[in-house]
Structure 1
């Protein structure tokens, strides 16, 4: 049982101990299934003794997962990948990130979940007893579409292993010592964090620069870094300011998106043709997708003298996408017809990602978090049938503002997601990723 538990620079054999704890697992929200309670049994393997300065390997083995694979879908070989967190206590403080390979035997419906072992490396920087306590874990299933089931303790969990760390003459650092595995690898190889817990920042987050709005003289161009204003003088092109927007998304999409967004306008008669650009690599592809398998759309908020929304829609991806690889969203276009006279502001709103996989259509809504910054300001003249108080929007092809296949945002999201989970008459798309105790009778309901 301990043969797979490798140890680095240790002074004593590895010891393994088990702990069980009540667990709540949250299925992907797109599945429409409620949270389910279960019990997880974990075996933690770590050296019994080590010296300050050693880097040791810790192994997490899931002896019993919180539930069986539901009676919905057989899981293929090597489609399941776990990640988790161990709390480091005693003489240390912080967390140790654990990661396992995408490796499993075929798992039949209504049979126990078999998860591969997770590993992480811990740099020991202080003498004393270091306790290791299993905490949250996530189970990812890659087929037929990538989905996550997130499980967390619902009671106090006891330590599963203790490492006695002696002062072997190595350098010590104040506070506890923990390391986290970085990115998609198991560990980050010797990196340490000091007491107070380990925190990381997401690499994609950006902040906007600049302050108030500025325009250049002559009415023909605008400067970057400030708001832009379109008015008279025969000007037709109105470039917007690049702003940063943070969004929270729904599984199977990313947990969040931090992207730069620019809204440009071109005047045509009394209306404006809008082009909305997002930053590079705003998200990773949720699954291998063919050409034309992913289409973005966004709601543009109208403020200032005018009000309402405009929906802009992009073209489908021009080339196939690899699972987990960064995705550049295509430019989104639509038409804004002013409903009021005065200075109207345009701000990025909620983003919708439409995925077509086989014969199924999946909608991933991403909602703006906090206030949405203004990208463009226009001097407008009221047009008949304009936006004020409602929706003066049209899609890229001159269709309705919502688009034929776009999900509504707001209170209708839950119903839309439940309906999508039943595309083609089944929830099979996501059932393989939902590791719950839910009986098949409940799933049918």
Structure 2
């Protein structure tokens, strides 16, 4: 973080100066957030040496004195999940764009709490004698793999001036902080268009007639188009799901798996902060729903590590005799203090069973009396990545259910507010 080995080559021993400047700013959230651009005020402090000589490489520091708003009342931001980057303009005796960036280092920021952004650092090699002024320019705030881009909407006053004395200079150059380069993360899109697949109209895996002692009934993978209610609005996405059953007397143990590859975590997710569940929809001879759920994540998921969603399990006690169907139903994911609820836009039968009515079974309109279970230790599925593949899958729900990917662009929605210290 010293800004390059050039700092060791003899920066003049001069006192550093720190100057504060504020300016009107327009911030554009990622397209995935569905939010309009907003305006606010940025207040920063720029620190640089008061004097130096040609040939020196000097450190410059951008400190956020005041962010344009508090953290919106949408989601708690985990510790070390936010990273700022930006550009300082050098003018006067020499002109250069100085790339500055801060570490992904912040305290946990609660909903409605004051934004805390790390100091951004960069370096400048001085190439000509005279006064060099430093002026803050555009910057980005990266969280959950998305960028909110902020640009000045007025002429910004210079924040610091370096008096450069003669020396052995060289051609103008800017040396970026070697610890990190300016953020160039593409905005993550968590919205995908539901696309019906041929498997949706199929009858799914079937266990018809006399089961002949069969106990395991694998279902059929079906693509389910979901309409999701998230803390930042309505979203649509599609995910492949499979329902399997294991007969136990007159009842069935159900396991619901989300198929295909999982996504990498865009930020560190604390243990015990994510809890998925589903209401499996019954049809055919039987009616009602069966509640299945998965355990909360037992370990912290570090940024960049794969996210895996556990199997959702529960018990189905038939309430009718005949051919009964099971389809993925309403999916609920509680994560980081928020709830996302997704309802299938189209029914897709994954499994058909030849059932026998049981006392206190599901037939009617309510949930099955069977209780939800925990992961049985079988193969874990994962909500697949949203992308241009044929599934256009449910990254919007990838474990964090709209609180990470969908809200990544919303947590830095800058609202017009009075200045706060």
Q: What is the TM-score normalised by the length of structure 2?
A: 0.46
Q: Which has the larger radius of gyration?
A: 2
Q: Which has the higher contact order (CA 8 A, sep 6+)?
A: 2
